[in-house]
Amino acid sequence: MNILQIFELSAGYKDIPVVKNVSFTIREGTMTVLMGPNGAGKSTLLKTLYGLTDVTSGVVQFLGNDITTLPTHKRATRGLGFVPQGRINFGLLTVAENLELGAYHLHEKAVIEKNIEEVYETFPVLRTKQNAYAFSLSGGEQQMLAIGRALVNVPRLLLLDEPSLGLSPKLVKETFATIAQIRDRFGLTVLLVEHNIRSVLDIANRGIIMVDGVIVADAETSELRGSEILKKVLVGAFD
């Protein structure tokens, strides 16, 4: 089943075009990595899928429904989750309070408690620090909290924007292992933007390469490995 279908999508910020005539599909249960040089439009594409940019043309379908003009908060209730770049949390709220905010549209207390417990089981360190302020966490812990807050809603499709940004090499490896664990544990479909390409190719099913707002490659990761176009991305030949 295709969980996400994009048809000739163009978007940006007011009169500034960034994403240009993009089309692709995402199969349910897969992990897709979005790659490309800086300024290629990768983060803007994720924001567009979450309703945070100005769409000028094209269609976004999620679970078979047209969500092109749907407000962001309604996309969240439909099953879209988004973790933006930079480990954004509410610094002056505790870990527990941040997770509770992630459940803002859920109404049954038992469901909220169950979902938060799932997050604590996935990230045990968050349980030990549930009363600590978010700003006091390490970089890796803040990334766990940002992902955990998105998981409380149990999304069908999780959008991750550079989850390894600013992390040490050891934490990068642990982060990708955790993302694979999350995909399997929660039955998620994942679309992530990532510059740490060699690491993420080990867990992703598919890769999409963007250059200057346009998709220039879309294939299974097994096909992309060793390809000339991937080599160009790795050495920065498109910059």
* Tens-place pLDDT, residues 125-163: 999 999 999 999 988 899 889 999 999 988 999 999 988
Two structure tokens written together for 151: 């998981």
Two structure tokens written together for 61: 């379908």
Q: Domain segments of the chain: what residues? A: 2-235
Contact 133/91 with Cβ under 8 angstroms? yes
Which pLDDT score is estimated for 37? 87
Contact 18/46 with Cβ under 8 angstroms? no
Which pLDDT score is estimated for 225? 83
Angle at 146 between CA 175 and CA 124, to 5 degrees: 60
The dihedral formed by the CA atoms of 55, 152, 206 and 71, expressed in degrees to the nearest 10:
-10
Contact 206/33 with Cβ under 8 angstroms? yes
Contact 155/78 with Cβ under 8 angstroms? no
Instruction: Write down the residue that tokens 């527990």 correspond to.
Output: 96
pTM given for the model: 0.90
Q: How far is CA 111 from the centre of its chain?
A: 23
* Tens-place pLDDT, residues 64-92: 999 999 999 999 999 999 998 877 888 89
What is the edge-to-edge ordering of all strands in the sheet holding 189-193? 80-83, 157-161, 189-193, 31-35, 206-211, 214-220
Domain 2-235 falls under CATH 3.40.50.300: yes
Two structure tokens written together for 129: 């620090």
Contact 53/60 with Cβ under 8 angstroms? no
